[in-house]
Structure 1
């Protein structure tokens, strides 16, 4: 990727630089990199860069031009009771993805567990809300109403099966509440870690997070999307030729692979990895 956009140039930016000059330099570099490249229109790639520049990178550059490489958390929920801290230049998600992957994965697993319990509750509710179901006469299936029904049938030996369903429902709702509290606690603990980490971020770390993780990752993803679009177009064209000239499928497949390999070869020469 470094052969397309000068990463060192971006990381060497200092307070007071002119953002318009920088976008001029990197856009020219990108256009030169894609000049005379078969199958790829350099202006399509250029448009992806400019879209990202207008949406995000331009504002980031002006922040750096004004304040240097500073990443400070501020309240983005102004005017409201709840305080939510984040940073425009360096969002907390980037810090989490680089430094707290284990914590993030643990929270994601808790969310999966919560969804599983929620699904079980929904399925049970649907199953027993039909006519003659144990929840059929309830205005609303809720923990309160289920507990109320349990009291009504307490001691009724004929209602043993119904009691089993109601108790199972309550166990699931209790598990769901516990899971929600665990998630809330895990998110709160992670947030504290992240806030603390911002205080120790070095300028070099901020540059890596902003340039590599935020800017270059997005630009590379957008360019790959463009190349995938080209590849899909080639595939469609080969299929059209196959239908029109009754080209044997095996030969058409070979042509598709050859053209795609040509695209990927250009990518490798320009620093992209497709593994």
Structure 2
């Protein structure tokens, strides 16, 4: 029962250290390998890396719910969003992972996941196939610049006026290498992959966008949880004795007892309900109805036997 499981430990701690024990915190640390005095490798707590923490008397969940409900709601909402995004990614992968699937080229060896490295590699391969007249002209312009052929660059620009739309000159009118590189990137971004790869490319971009959104959401969860943990740790130190009593009596002990009592009552009611339903089903038909059905069945059997030639 609750006394043996937890309550007696809480009472003993309060008796020994007073209600101030409600401010105490237990930490769980990451492990690290060190050599002991015998030269054996052993695992010990790495006190510089906290994995988790909890109150000795008051669970941190109670502190979160009592003092930081808005922060908790934010984390819960982000978590739900992350789960939904994960489900969408799984659905996208499952739908496009067959022999003719648009994502088959980026699947892992087991075919049950898409590593980020595979995704980026394939996107880079497809983007290298991009082409457009402007990109080709800009690439040629970059080559001429590297060769120092500025006159030919000017001639090319006069033949391809769309190149003049890009910011490729310094303030003094000369061509700038950094500006040419930036212009080439813009031209490449506006270019399109060949039609044969377009569906795959669009599917990869859609998956990448969803993956990035999930990564950003997961990062936001970690940051929000870290901020909440810092607030909870600070709150433990600030708790007054009256607050500790309220959190222990009302939020922990009584809440637990109320839940246990409700569950016990629910079990009893469910058991009684099942028995009532069983009895109701057993006596669903009256004795008269049953006798009438038996008589009807008897007559049907007798008639069938007579037709078969049996007499008695």
Superposition TM-score tier, normalisation by shorter sequence: 0.5 to 0.7
1:96 to 64, 68, 87: 64
Q: 2:88 aligns with which of 112, 120, 123?
A: 120
Q: Contact (CA 8 Å) 2:26, 2:53: kept in 1 or not?
A: yes
Segments of structure 2 that go 5 or more residues without pairing to the other structure are: 31-43, 109-113, 131-192, 287-312
| Matching residue within 45, 48, 66 for 1:80 | 45
Counterpart in the other structure of 1:61: 11
Q: Is the 8 A contact 1:128 1:135 kept in 2?
A: yes
Distance across 1 between alignment mates of 2:197 and 2:115: 19
What secondary structure does 1:131 align onto? coil
SS in 2 for 1:76: strand
Question: Following superposition of structure 1 onto structure 2, how do residues 186-197 of structure 1 map, counting pairs within 5 Å?
Answer: 186-197=224-235
Please, what TM-score do these two structures have when normalized by structure 1?
0.68
- Aligned partner of 1:181 in structure 2 is 219
Pair 217,135 (structure 1): closer, same or farther in 2 beyond 3 Å: same
Asked which structure has the greater RCO (Cα within 8 Å, sep 6+), the reply is 1
Note the C-alpha offset of 1:247: 7.3
Structure 2 partner of 1:108: 76
Closer/same/farther in 2, CA of residues 204 and 242 from structure 1, 3 Å limit: same
Aligned positions of 1:81-230 closer than 5 A: 81=46, 82-83=49-50, 84-140=52-108, 141-154=114-127, 155=130, 156-157=193-194, 158-230=196-268
Q: Which has the higher strand share?
A: 2
Q: Is the 8 A contact 1:241 1:247 kept in 2?
A: no
Larger displacement relative to structure 2 (72-81 or 126-135): 72-81
Query: Given that residues 125 and 135 in structure 1 are in contact (C-alpha distance below 8 angstroms), is that contact kept between their aligned partners in structure 2?
Result: yes
Higher alpha-carbon Rg: 2
Contact residue 107 and residue 115 of structure 2 kept, 8 A? no
Taking structure 2 as the reference length, the TM-score comes to: 0.60
Structure 1 residues 117, 139: CA separation in 2 closer, same or farther (over 3 Å shift)? closer
Cα RMSD of the aligned pairs, angstroms, is 1.7
- Using the TM superposition, give the Cα deviation of residue 137 of structure 1 relative to its aligned residue in structure 2, in angstroms: 3.6
